[in-house]
Amino acid sequence: MHILIIDDEPLARSRLRHLLGDCTPHGEHWTMSEAASASQALPPLSGPLPVDIVLLDIQMPGANGMSFAFTLQQLPAPPAIIFVTAHSHYAAQAFDVQACDYLTKPVRLERLQQALAKAKKQLPSDPGPQLAIAPWAARAGLGRRWCISRPSSKCSPSTPRRAAMCWKAAWSIWSSVTRTRAAHSPQLLGQSGLFATPGICRARGLVSPSARYCPTLASLTAAGGGSAQTFNNL
Amino acid sequence: MREEVELAKRYLDIEQLRFGPRMQVRWNIDPEVLSLPVPPLVLQPLVENAVKHGVEPSETPAHIRISLHRHGKNYAILTVTNTQAGPSAPGLGMALANVRHRLQLLYDMDFQMEQRHKAHAFQVQLRLPFNRTPAYHCPCTS
């Protein structure tokens, strides 16, 4: 779970940080980032670790929180937005940007916990073991959707039996990754000849693979991995 | 005026905690002016305005300059200047109107209040009579 706090006041950020520390569920790993303005929030938002929840102040210098929330909603995978503000009169507008919750300062722990619980429900659910290996996996009748094979991988079996073996190996690596929540999962995933999307990593609470392991369709076809049609058919 | 300055300083101390290095305040006080009798809450609203419209909307450090000095024998000049990075959310205009109105009641024509919009700054300047105690007309005591 990656939570980004955007507030121009350092004391307000530190208060939220401490409250978040107090409501971390046992055993769950949370990452927190901070930004003092909307413009400073862009690096963490475009960083390797996708942001799941944004705690967003409204009155800030530069772009205000409400207009920034509109920007966030345009993202392909928008994070859940929780407004944290001293003013109650923006609450109606918060509906327009599909905010998950609206907290007024000073924030109380119980209220923050409620908001986080709501936000978690909004996040994409765990896709589970829906790995897919392509295109040979598709031919072998294996799962599809989340992962695709590295075009140049050795793991490019010709027969369904080999495909199944490959699948099994990949699956065991994937399982070990998800069990250990290893910080270096991209490497492990790379070894398996699989790519994982940020979505699956987010759902698994993993560090997102770097862009190298999250190729776009265009980059895969450019790498000679097959036609766009092939990948669309996965 | 000494109490007014003390109050404004306390207020700015709180805002300093809030904004940290984003708020830079400079005082320039002529000690002679500190003994000037003034109505309460004449300085703090001007300083609060400077914080609201100068510091709050600014991502970069904003400056507030407060100066009190004598102007000739008969007047004291009180100036609050704040830098303005960009347009701030328009307020209700209550603070300045309120100060002006109260000064009008107390000093009638014997004071001046000017607002100046400069290139990247906003300034409010008060000229108050030095040798005149404001005439309080409180209905409860008269």
Lowest mean pLDDT among A14-23, A60-69, B129-138: B129-138
Chain A nearest CA to B20, separation (Å): 8
In which residue are the tokens 């929030």 written?
Answer: A41
Question: Higher pLDDT residue, A26 or A224?
Answer: A26
pLDDT in tens, B51-94: 999 999 898 999 999 999 999 888 999 999 999 877 666 777 78
- Mark yes or no for CB contact B89/A59 under 8 Å: yes
pLDDT higher than 80, residue B108: yes
Question: Which pLDDT score is estimated for A165?
Answer: 52
Q: Kindly state the helix (H) or strand (E) to which residue A12 belongs, with its residue range.
A: helix A10-22
pLDDT in tens, A173-223: 555 444 444 333 444 344 444 444 444 444 443 333 333 333 333 333 333
Q: Using 50, 70 and 90 to split pLDDT, how confident is the model at B135? A: low
Question: Which pLDDT score is estimated for B134?
Answer: 58
pLDDT higher than 70, residue B114: yes
Question: Higher pLDDT residue, A161 or A55?
Answer: A55
Q: In what order do the strands lie in the sheet with B23-29?
A: B23-29, B62-71, B75-83, B121-129, B112-117
Chain B nearest CA to A114, separation (Å): 27
Structure tokens at A54: 């944004």
Chain A nearest CA to B64, separation (Å): 17
Question: Which pLDDT score is estimated for A171?
Answer: 52
Average pLDDT for B25-50: 94
Give residues with Cβ within 8 angstroms of A100, minimum separation 6: A53, A80, A81, A82, A115, A118, A119, A122
The size of chain B, in residues, is 142
- Mark yes or no for CB contact A11/B58 under 8 Å: no
Chain A residues in contact with B57 (beta carbon < 8 A): 61
Question: Which pLDDT score is estimated for B118?
Answer: 86
- Mark yes or no for CB contact A61/B20 under 8 Å: no
Taken in order A212, A214, A220, A225, the sign of the CA dihedral is: positive
Q: At residue A166, what are phi and psi to the nearest 5 degrees?
A: -60, -45
Chain A residues in contact with B54 (beta carbon < 8 A): none
Question: Higher pLDDT residue, A199 or A24?
Answer: A24
Complex-level ipTM: 0.71
In which residue are the tokens 């109650």 written?
Answer: A88
Helix (H/G/I), strand (E/B), else coil: B116: strand
Q: Cα separation of B93 and B110, whole Å?
A: 23
Q: Kindly state the helix (H) or strand (E) to which residue A163 belongs, with its residue range.
A: helix A160-180
Q: Cα separation of B123 and B66, whole Å?
A: 10
Question: Which pLDDT score is estimated for B64?
Answer: 97
Chain B nearest CA to A61, separation (Å): 4
Question: Which pLDDT score is estimated for A83?
Answer: 97
Contact B119, B85 (CB under 8 A): no
Question: Which pLDDT score is estimated for A193?
Answer: 43
Rounded to two decimals, what is the model's pTM? 0.64
pLDDT higher than 90, residue B15: yes
Q: Cα separation of A138 and A124, whole Å?
A: 24
Question: Which pLDDT score is estimated for A29?
Answer: 74
Interface test with A, best of B16, B59, B82, B88 (most A CBs within 10 A): B59
Give residues with Cβ within 8 angstroms of A75, minimum separation 6: A45
pLDDT in tens, A60-109: 998 899 999 999 998 888 899 999 999 999 999 999 999 999 999 999 99
Question: Which pLDDT score is estimated for A60?
Answer: 92
Q: Cα separation of A163 and A154, whole Å?
A: 12
Question: Which pLDDT score is estimated for A12?
Answer: 94
pLDDT in tens, A122-176: 877 544 333 333 444 444 444 333 333 333 334 444 445 554 555 455 555 555 4
* Chain A: residues touching B (Cβ < 8 Å): 8-11, 36-37, 39, 59, 61-62
How many contacts does A have with B, using Cβ atoms within 8 A?
Answer: 18
